[in-house]
Amino acid sequence: MNSRLKWRPRLTDGTAPVLVVLAVLLVALAFAGPAYSEPAGYLALLKRAAPLVILAIGQYLVIVSGGFDLSVGSLVTAEVVIAARLINGDDGNTVWVVALLLGFGVLVGLVNGLITTRLLVPSFIVTLGMLLVLDGAVFLWTGGAPRGALSESFRVPGRGSLEIPVLGQVPWSVLILLVVLVGAVLFMRGGTGRTLIAVGDNENAVRLAGGRVDRLRLLAFVSSGLLAALAAILLAGFAGVSAQVGRGLEFRAITAVVLGGVLLGGGRGSVVAAAAGALSLEALFSLLKLVGVSGALESAVQGVIIIAAVAYAAHGAGLRQKLRIRKPAPALP
**Using CB under 8 A as the criterion, which residues of the chain lie in contact with other proteins when the complex forms?**
1-4, 10, 12, 191-192, 194-195, 197-198, 201-202, 204-212, 263, 267-268, 322-333
Q: Which is nearer to other proteins, 137 or 310 (CB)?
A: 310
Q: Considering the complex, what minimum distance in angstroms separates the CB of residue 118 from other proteins?
A: 16
Nearest alpha-carbon partner for 276 in 292, 259, 298, 255: 259
Q: Considering the complex, what minimum distance in angstroms separates the CB of residue 218 from other proteins?
A: 15
Q: What are phi and psi of 8, to 5 degrees?
A: -135, 140
Cβ pair 158, 240 in contact under 8 A: no
Q: Which is nearer to other proteins, 153 or 202 (CB)?
A: 202
Q: Considering the complex, what minimum distance in angstroms separates the CB of residue 200 from other proteins?
A: 9
CB-based contacts of 63, cutoff 8 Å, min separation 6: 69, 200, 254, 257, 262, 264, 266, 269
Q: Considering the complex, what minimum distance in angstroms separates the CB of residue 322 from other proteins?
A: 8
| Cα–Cα distance for residue pair 49/43, rounded to 1 Å | 10
3-state SS string over 161-194? EEEECCCEEEEHHHHHHHHHHHHHHHHHHCHHHH
Q: What interhelical angle do 271-290 and 298-324 show, nearest 10?
A: 140
Nearest alpha-carbon partner for 110 in 140, 81, 69: 69
Q: Which is nearer to other proteins, 140 or 327 (CB)?
A: 327
Alpha-carbon dihedral sign for residues 82, 86, 87, 89: positive
Q: Which is nearer to other proteins, 105 or 200 (CB)?
A: 200
Nearest alpha-carbon partner for 245 in 129, 103, 74: 74
Q: Considering the complex, what minimum distance in angstroms separates the CB of residue 11 from other proteins?
A: 11
Q: What are phi and psi of 162, to 5 degrees?
A: -120, 135
Q: Considering the complex, what minimum distance in angstroms separates the CB of residue 6 from other proteins?
A: 12
Q: Considering the complex, what minimum distance in angstroms separates the CB of residue 1 from other proteins?
A: 5
Q: Considering the complex, what minimum distance in angstroms separates the CB of residue 274 from other proteins?
A: 16
Q: Reduced to 3 states, what is the DSSP secondary structure of residue 47?
A: helix
Q: Considering the complex, what minimum distance in angstroms separates the CB of residue 308 from other proteins?
A: 22
| Cα–Cα distance for residue pair 127/75, rounded to 1 Å | 10
| Cα–Cα distance for residue pair 4/127, rounded to 1 Å | 35
| Cα–Cα distance for residue pair 203/212, rounded to 1 Å | 10
Q: Which is nearer to other proteins, 119 or 327 (CB)?
A: 327
Q: Which is nearer to other proteins, 147 or 215 (CB)?
A: 215
Q: How far apart are the first and last CA of the chain?
A: 9
